[in-house]
Structure 1
Amino acid sequence: MNPSYAQPSPGPKAASSPDRDAQIYARIVDAIVAHKLTPGARLPEETLATTFGVSRTIIRTVLQRLSLERMVVLQRNRGAQVARPGVDEARQVFAARRMIETACMPDVMRRAGKEQVKALRKLTRHERQAQQRHRHSDAIRLSAAFHVELVGIAGNPVITEFAAQLASRSSLIIAVYGSHLSVGCDCGEHGELVDLIDAGREQEATDWVVQHLLHIEASLHFEQPEEATPDFAAIFGD
Structure 2
Amino acid sequence: MTARRVASVLRAADKGSATSSPATGAGAQRHERIYQAISSAIIEHRLQPGARLREDALAEVFGVSRTGIRKVLQRLAMDQLITLTPGKGASVTRPSAEEAREVFEARRLVEGGLMQPLAQVLDAKGVEQLRALAAQEQVALEAGEQSEAIQCSAKFHSALAALAGNETLATFVVQLCSRSSLILAVYGNAGNLGCDCTDHQQLLALLEQGDGKAAADFMAKHLDAIEASLSIGDEPQAVPDLQDVFAGYRR
Q: TM-score, normalised to structure 1's length? A: 0.89
Stretches of 4+ aligned residues off by more than 4 angstroms: none
Higher alpha-carbon deviation: 126-135 or 218-227: 218-227
Instruction: Measure the CA separation in 2 of the matches of 1:22 and 1:36.
Output: 19
Gaps of 5+ in 1: 3-15
Letter in 2 for 1:45: E
Letter in 2 for 1:182: L
Q: Equivalent residue for 2:76?
A: 66
Q: Equivalent residue for 1:173?
A: 183
Tell me the SS of whatever aligns to 1:181: coil
Instruction: Measure the CA separation in 2 of the matches of 1:220 and 1:54.
Output: 36
Q: Equivalent residue for 2:172?
A: 162
Instruction: Measure the CA separation in 2 of the matches of 1:157 and 1:189.
Output: 24
**Aligned with 2:122 (options 97, 108, 112):** 112
Instruction: Measure the CA separation in 1 of the matches of 2:168 and 2:243.
Output: 43
Instruction: Measure the CA separation in 2 of the matches of 1:92 and 1:182.
Output: 19
Matched, 1:44 2:54: yes
1:182–1:220 contact (8 Å) kept in structure 2: no
Q: Equivalent residue for 1:13?
A: none
**Aligned with 2:101 (options 91, 94, 97):** 91
Residue by residue, what CA displacement relative to the aligned partner does 1:182-219 show, whole Å, maximum 9, x if unpaired? 3453x853111111111223232111101110000011
Q: Equivalent residue for 2:110?
A: 100
Q: Equivalent residue for 1:127?
A: 137
Instruction: Measure the CA separation in 1 of the matches of 2:192 and 2:45.
Output: 14
Residue by residue, what CA displacement relative to the aligned partner does 1:41-88 show, whole Å, maximum 9, x if unpaired? 000001111122221111111101100110010001100000011110
Gaps of 5+ in 2: 1-13, 16-25
- How big is the shift at 1:237? 1.1
User: 1:178-189 to 2 correspondence within 5 Å?
Assistant: 178-179=188-189, 180-185=191-196, 188-189=198-199
Count residues in correspondence: 224
Tell me the SS of whatever aligns to 2:80: coil
Q: Equivalent residue for 2:210?
A: 200
1:48–1:59 contact (8 Å) kept in structure 2: yes
Q: TM-score, normalised to structure 2's length? A: 0.85
Tell me the SS of whatever aligns to 1:163: helix
- Over aligned residue pairs, what C-alpha RMSD do you find? 1.7
Instruction: Measure the CA separation in 2 of the matches of 1:223 and 1:63.
Output: 25
